[in-house]
Homo-oligomer: A and B are copies of this chain.
């Protein structure tokens, strides 16, 4: 059992440094740019050296989940939220939005989460905290369980947007061209912007909160009158 020592010619890697480096690359250059070689280079080392600290690339991705979850747990711990016994709804809302801030800083995180098979301990612990919050807020285990499913990834601050309504320049002609294929969407955009610029008309943060509140409201109703 050697403690920690700086073996080798230089500072020495560590699982910590490897994972931090991986997160940095994903943040700066995207998930596709994260290869064992690019990661090694960023750490001033050869690719194979990484394998002394992580089993393989899958383990790096698993580690990224831990990194993100640690940031989320830290953000949640910093929160000055009400006691769930007094106001579980606000406590939950703040927790989820704190998690969301972390996720927004790491746009690659949802994709990494999704490709992990099996639940990581870090994720399980987070959901355990969510469930504990609901328990303190007066939920039965049964309703708490359903609530975890209903929230899904939203509990961690992201919703799977399969369909991005904005990002279009959408001058009137472009809309007209689309009107045949997707008439209702086009009408919706026209209605929302009444002829003005479309870029950025869709406020994702607001929409996320809307969906979250819809679920929380529903849960609260079930909690009080089952």
Contacts and interface: CB of A to CB of B under 8 A. Distances in A.
A38 to B, nearest CB: 19
Contact of A192 (B119, B123, B145): B145
Interface in A140-167: 141-142, 144-146, 148-153, 155-156, 159-165, 167
Contacts of A141: 187-188, 191-192
A3 interface: no
Given A182-B128, A185-B127, A167 B118 contact: yes
Contacts of A165: 145, 148
A218 interface: yes
A152 B148 contact: no
Interface stretch (A45-53, A90-98, A107-115): A107-115
Contacts of A150: 207, 210-211, 214
How many copies of this protein are present in the complex? 2
Contact of A123 (B118, B163, B187, B202): B163
Please tell me the size bucket of the interface on A: 35 or more
A49 B210 CA distance: 49
A184 B127 CA distance: 9
A159 B156 CA distance: 13
A131 B161 contact: no
A160 B131 CA distance: 18
A33 interface: no
B210 A149 contact: yes
A170 B150 CA distance: 24
Interface of A: 110-111, 113-115, 118-119, 121, 123-125, 127-129, 131-132, 135, 141-142, 144-146, 148-153, 155-156, 159-165, 167, 181-185, 187-188, 191-192, 202, 204, 207-208, 210-211, 214-215, 217-219
15 contacts: A123-B163, A124-B185, A125-B182, A127-B182, A131-B188, A141-B187, A142-B192, A145-B165, A149-B161, A149-B211, A152-B211, A153-B159, A211-B215, A214-B214, A214-B219
